Amino acid sequence: MRPVKDPFEIYGSASDAAGDKSSLAWEEGAMDEQSPVEGFAEGSAAGREPLPARSLRGLQVTMILAGALLVIKLFSLQVAQGGKYLGLAEGNRLRVQTILAPRGQILDRTGAVLARNTASFSLVATPVDLPKANLDNEISQLSQLLHLDEGEVRAKLANYDPRSFEPVILKQDLAQADSILFQTNADQFPGFGVDSIPIRDYPSPLPFSHLLGYTGVISAAELANPENQGYRQNDFIGKLGIELSYEKYLRGVDGERQVEVDASGRPVKVLGDLDPQPGDIVQLNINQGLQQTLYDSFIKHSPKVKGAAVAMDPKTGEVLALVSLPGFDNNLFAQGISTADYQKLTSDPTLPLFDRAISGTYPPGSTSKLMGATAALQEKVITPSTVINDRGVIVVPNQFTPGQEYRFNGWKPGGLGPMTVRSAIAESSDIFFYTTAGGQPGTGIDGLGADKLAAYYRKFGLGSTLGIDLQGEKTGLVPDPAWKEQYFKGDPIQSKWYLGDTYHIGIGQGDMLVTPLQVAEWTAVIANGGTGYQPTLLKQVADQSGKVLYKPQQKTIISNIASPDVIKVVQEGMRQAVTAGTARALNTLPVTSAGKTGTSQFDSADSSRTHAWFTVYAPYENPQIVITILVEAGGEGNAVAEPIAKDALAWCAQNNCFNQ
């Protein structure tokens, strides 16, 4: 580009134009004899007459006055009103605003909506538009106007670059009245504004809170995580549950809006929109009605209950219900939970944020006898016709101290009498399963032994995660001699494995720990003839047009447990529990079933404190559902947990869910 010459400078040559130059006075420039204006010079080589002196002086005065006016105007624009026009120049500019994409819906297996979107107003501040002076006073006045925590507002603004164009969310889910109040006073608060954004809405929060989880504005730590590349400061992200597990599908593609804003950062004109793309639809295997029924039944039988329920299809591994109590309102998190509400949840002694279904570990009690019976039959420690007399106690002499004895009692004083494996399952005989686990003098039965029994427990999936598509699944614990030696390393007494330890794990007590999900899984293995599938919540992912994008494949995780004949005997024992044993209350249902009660001690100082368990499958002839119930510190399994399962099976029979 050629340089623009200054009319008030002398250029002698081409090199001079780019280099040396000497300034001319205004008068010299105006009277340069090289001027092309005819008659302007004092003389002319062509011999024209010079201008009269009076005319020349008049022209000079006119031009001097014009120059003076120009200087005055420039001074006014640049100095007197410079701040005003600088603000206008900087303030009227183009901005690209993010239009947050709605998240995809979460549906149950029938298409019922479990999570959707709703409009919400958020109070935001754009750091670059905040006033440099008087900001503290502005924050104080705004906090008083909208009843905000002034300290929280200042803390949020302190974490952001003052040159940033990205809005900072100060308050989510602003009440409509507060939004209107702000709009009427918006001129007093430059740099602040109210945005309408889509947030999550959970129609039935308490029954589904742990399952669905919740969303929230991405944190600084999450934003810095390399796995979250592409997220922006105010994006919402799944924090827990299905919202987190399937974030990559549920998250949509944000849109953009190009706007012109004024000096206060407020939009003046919309120049163009790029529409956001909603996230994909995540459909679960969950049955909304069954989930709600299980939750309601817990509340009906014990309003302050703590516990969990799991329902599965044993033939596929599809999880039909996953309930943890107490629940919490996940809408609080989606709307931007307050410090007070969060502290209330975290300080609650019932631990409402804790997912007991997959993260809670408990001694399984007599529900473990299904595995013990399978192991004893498969290893030929017993046969289906073996009889063990349950007298209510086994007395074991101390091998180190003659005359000292240990007594291992059954649940029924006086005993249950002669037991086969079927009746031992039906009546939950502790004495029978002490014997099959560790042997009993005088019976000729040596028992499985701790190592072999522990190996079978692990074959059923204990001691490891099952791979459900949620975060936080725990492994539980399968104790054995090697574990105890390592755990109590250095203690010659505690590190030793005793017969009593084998007896304890033979009836699901001692140090043995499992999750409710694991109990449901091993029940499904029995119901399904010895094969278990990975528990799966997701049914499919589809785009907004309904096109299926992803469908998980069924995965076998347990197989070759025992012969079909062995599994059949255990099934018959579970059926007998319903027809004539500890689960007789289910015999009145219009659907056949097979179940197992469980009562597990968890307080060594008070043996009366027990967890209540019940696990069942139905129909007996063609298993389509497994239901496992845990009532934490609930008492007896048949008295507390069984009625909840009964309500759920009755609902299934009435709603024909066995044919889905």
Q: Tens digit of pLDDT for each residue in 605-649?
A: 777 789 999 999 999 999 999 999 999 988 888 889 999 999 999
Which residue blocks in 471-515 are alpha helix, DSSP H? Answer: 481-487, 499-506
- 337 HSE (CA, 13 A, CB side): 19
Q: pTM for the full model?
A: 0.81
Exposed/middle/buried for 420, CB within 10 Å: 0-12, 13-18, 19+? buried
DSSP assignment letter at 351? -
Q: Which secondary structure element, helix H or strand E, spans residue 453, and what is its range?
A: helix 450-459
Residues 341/653, Cβ–Cβ less than 8 Å:
no
Full set of structural domains in the chain with CATH = 94-284 (3.90.1310.10), 295-659 (3.40.710.10)
pLDDT of amino acid 233: 80
Exposed/middle/buried for 27, CB within 10 Å: 0-12, 13-18, 19+? exposed
pLDDT of amino acid 498: 93
pLDDT-above-70 percentage for the chain: 87
pLDDT of amino acid 246: 98
pLDDT of amino acid 274: 87
pLDDT of amino acid 537: 98
N residues, the chain: 660
Exposed/middle/buried for 358, CB within 10 Å: 0-12, 13-18, 19+? buried
Residues 279/286, Cβ–Cβ less than 8 Å:
no
CA distance 72 to 76: 6
pLDDT of amino acid 242: 98
Averaged pLDDT of the chain: 86
Residues 336/172, Cβ–Cβ less than 8 Å:
yes
> ∠ at Cα 400 (395, 402), nearest 5°?
65
CA distance 362 to 285: 26
Backbone angles phi, psi at 371, to 5 degrees: -75, -40
pLDDT of amino acid 13: 40
pLDDT of amino acid 86: 53
CA distance 62 to 236: 68
DSSP assignment letter at 221? H
Which residue blocks in 92-134 are alpha helix, DSSP H? Answer: none
What average pLDDT values come out for the chain (660 residues) when binned by 10 residues?
Answer: 42 41 39 40 47 65 74 62 53 72 95 93 86 86 88 83 81 84 87 85 97 92 89 89 97 86 74 89 98 96 87 98 97 88 94 97 97 98 97 87 86 96 98 97 93 98 98 97 96 93 96 98 98 98 96 97 97 97 95 96 80 96 97 87 96 84
- Largest Cα–Cα separation, the chain: 150
CA distance 294 to 649: 10
pLDDT of amino acid 260: 83
DSSP assignment letter at 638? I
pLDDT of amino acid 34: 42
CA distance 383 to 380: 6
Tokens for 584, please give them.
């007789």
